[in-house]
A and B are shown apart, each in its own frame.
Chain A
Amino acid sequence: MGDLPTAPALLALARDVLLTELLPLLPQEAHLDARLVANGMAIAEREATVGNEPHAAILRELRRLYSDHPQADPAQNGEVEVETEEFGLLRRFAQDLRSGAFDRSEPHSRRARDILWQLTIVRLRLANPRFLNANGFS
């Protein structure tokens, strides 16, 4: 177990100090950069908060999609293996989408598109949840 405060808590506090205490002291021409720093910290904080679970969920969906045609052994326990397996399956998925491999079967195509939505929403929840909200997503 790591020390406290946690990484997300430290990032949240540091970001708050930057925006509320430091930003008003900075010259106007440095405000944009300071806001970019705050944005980068917010993304890092969200990623540190959710951990690996969203990626593991995508991986489960990809495994299910490819369950009829496994190419590799399922991942062992541990983050490194999950990342490696997710990367391999994502690459295969991307190649299949490029070649139109799902076009011939509507149920298969639907499952593939569901994963695309899931993947995109997971990424945007981390990178830009406001954009997601502005487009009607929670």
Chain B
Amino acid sequence: MEGTASPRSEPSQDPSAAAGERRTRLAHFLAPAAGASAVEITSLSPLRGGAIQENWAVDASFRDGPLAGSQQLVLRTTAQTGVTASLSRIEEFAVLKAAFDAGVTVPEPLFATDDEAVFGKPFFIMRRVKGIAAAHRITRDPALDPALPALAERLGRELARIHTIRPPRHDLAFLPAPDEVGPARQVAAFRAYLNKHATPRPVLEWGIHWLETHFPTPVAPVLCHHDFRTGNYMLEGPELTGILDWEFAGWGDPFEDIGWFCSKGWRFARLDREAGGIAERAAFYAGYERESGRPLDPRRVFFWEVLAGVRWAVIALEQSDRYMIGGERNLDLALTGRRASECELEILMMLDPSGVPADG
């Protein structure tokens, strides 16, 4: 979701009185992990924007070892309010490592620990990549426009590289088995959510009914990012510097990521640019097809794009529940529930194009 954790904005100073002690503990963890005789933390400050995860900018000086010198890092840990569907930080670290090893452009994962004595919660450390991830800026900035088709092509190639990671994988054994995921499971989960939701959502029910009557034939599962979209990658100027936010990764249908990337909910300021608000689909598809060597079936993409609309709507309602039911005093979360109707409009436009009201 927009605003989820990532090293994407300027740090502000940590006001905590315990900050010095925290730095010392972190330095004591990093030194042996990095094979250094000493590490000094020169700066430790929270990064804004973590609704689900919490990120800290870490500037560290390593006396020796492979990281000798000054390093700009990010410490990623879980925010106070966890979301049930997300991986643990240790698991996310393993996924990030698999992606890095597969040649995907990601911040290099370095160390992880579940020892809560270091930072109070399990965390992992990765390199800090430069740039911005702010989707509204990326989709609005006219200076970026000429570079965006090439970026879409590059993102298509990156996604195809993610999808080269396939089960079985010993290092990813914690991921639910491929036969435990898939659209039927998702449909069941959407309905289970709607069963307990306070307000009936007829459009979602109708969209979900369409999904269950149009399941695509299964294909060999791959590693899906499950939140691959504009807002979850970093750009320095027009250059891609890292794909972020791997907390929802898991085995699935490769078309799921393509549908999610193209769905209207993730086009931000440019609804007309169907590939993530940055370009025509053709550029993104071409990159994917070139890298994977497989043609994309638009009918499969269509199915997953409808599912993306339902999924985004359910997430929006869940975010609102954090205020309505969970009591979190957060206006952004409270307002997000209203966005479910945007997804419902898109579901109607996709599935009932001839039914658009005459006065609409």
Supposing A43-B338, A90-B202 touch, asked if A97 and B357 sit within 8 A by C-beta, the answer is no
Smallest beta-carbon distance B120→chain A, Å: 25
**Contact B342–A93 (Cβ < 8 Å):** no
Q: Say yes or no: is A52 at the interface (Cβ < 8 Å to chain B).
A: no
Are A119 and B345 closer than 8 Å at their CB atoms?
no
Whole-angstrom distance between the alpha carbons of A113 and B86 in the complex?
35
Asked if residues A134 and B360 are in contact (CB atoms below 8 Å), the reply is: no
Bound-state Cα–Cα, A28 to B332, Å: 17
A137 to B206, CA, bound (A): 21
Q: Is B141's CB within 8 Å of the partner chain A?
A: no
User: Would A116 and B334 be within 8 Å (CB), given that A98-B191, A128-B342, A131-B345 are in contact?
Assistant: no
Query: Hey, which chain B residues are within 8 Å of A121, CB to CB?
Result: 345, 357, 360
B window 198-232: CB within 8 A of A: 199-203, 205-206, 208-209, 213
Is B335 an interface residue, CB under 8 A from the partner?
yes
Assembly CA distance A91 to B338 (angstroms)? 19
B202 touches A119 (CB 8 A): yes
Per the bound structure, the CA–CA distance linking A99 and B209 in Å amounts to 7
Q: In the bound complex, do residue A91 and residue B345 qualify as a contact, i.e. CB atoms below 8 Å apart?
A: no
Residues of A within 8 A of B355 (CB): 110, 113-114, 117
Which among B206, B332, B356, B357 has the greatest number of chain A C-beta atoms within 10 A? Answer: B206
A115 near B202 with CB under 8 A, answer: yes
Number of A-B pairs, beta carbon distance below 8 Å: 94
Q: Which residues of B contact A29 (CB under 8 A)?
A: 12, 48
**Band of interface residues on A:** 35 or more
Any chain A CB within 8 A of the CB of B349? yes
CA distance A132 to B344 in the complex (A): 12
Residue ID in chain B nearest A134 by CB atoms: B271
A135-B271 in contact (CB<8A): yes
Contact (Cβ within 8 A) A119 B203: yes
Query: How far apart are the CA atoms of A115 and B352 in the complex, in Å?
Result: 12
Which listed residue, A37, A117, A120, A124, touches B331 by the CB 8 Å rule? A37
With A98-B208, A120-B345 already in contact, the answer to whether A90 and B200 are too (CB < 8 A) is: yes
**Size band of the interface chain B makes with A:** 20 to 34
CA distance A127 to B341 in the complex (A): 8
The CA of A93 and the CA of B199, in the complex, are separated in Å by 12
The reply to whether A117 and B348 form a contact with Cβ atoms under 8 Å apart is yes
A33 to B79, CA, bound (A): 20
A93 contacts B209, C-beta separation under 8 Å: no
Which one, A100, A132, A138, contacts B209 given CB within 8 A? A100
Contact mask for chain B residues 259-295; partner A; CB cutoff 8 A; 1 contact, 0 none: 0000000000001000000000000000000000000
Expressed in whole angstroms, the Cα–Cα distance for A36 and B2 within the complex equals: 14
B200 x A123 contact (CB < 8 A): no
Chain A CB within 10 A, most for which of B208, B342, B356: B342
Does A39 make an interface contact (CB < 8 A)?
yes
Known: A128-B339, A134-B271. A117 touches B357 (CB 8 A): yes
Q: Nearest-CB distance from A69 to chain B (Å)?
A: 17
A116 touches B332 (CB 8 A): no
Nearest residue (CB) in B for A101 is B209
The distance in angstroms between the C-alpha atoms of A121 and B205, with both chains bound, is: 17
A66 at the interface (CB under 8 A from B): no
Q: Are A94 and B335 in contact (CB under 8 A)?
A: no
Q: In the assembled complex, which residues on chain B have CB atoms less than 8 Å from the CB atom of A98? A: 191, 205, 208-209
The residues of B that contact A118 with a CB separation of less than 8 Å are 357
Considering the complex, give the chain A residue whose CB is closest to the CB of B343: A120
Q: Report the minimal beta-carbon distance from B334 to chain A, rounded to whole angstroms.
A: 7
Interface presence of A51 (CB below 8 A):
no
Q: Which residues on the A side are within 8 Å of B12 (C-beta)?
A: 29
Known: A98-B208, A128-B342, A138-B359. 5 other contacts (CB 8 A): A110-B355, A116-B344, A116-B348, A116-B352, A119-B203
Query: A-contacting residues of B (Cβ < 8 Å)?
Result: 12, 48, 191, 194, 199-203, 205-206, 208-209, 213, 271, 331-332, 334-335, 338-339, 341-342, 344-345, 348-349, 352, 355-357, 359-360
5 pairs, CB–CB < 8 Å, chain A vs chain B:
A40-B335, A113-B352, A114-B355, A120-B345, A132-B345
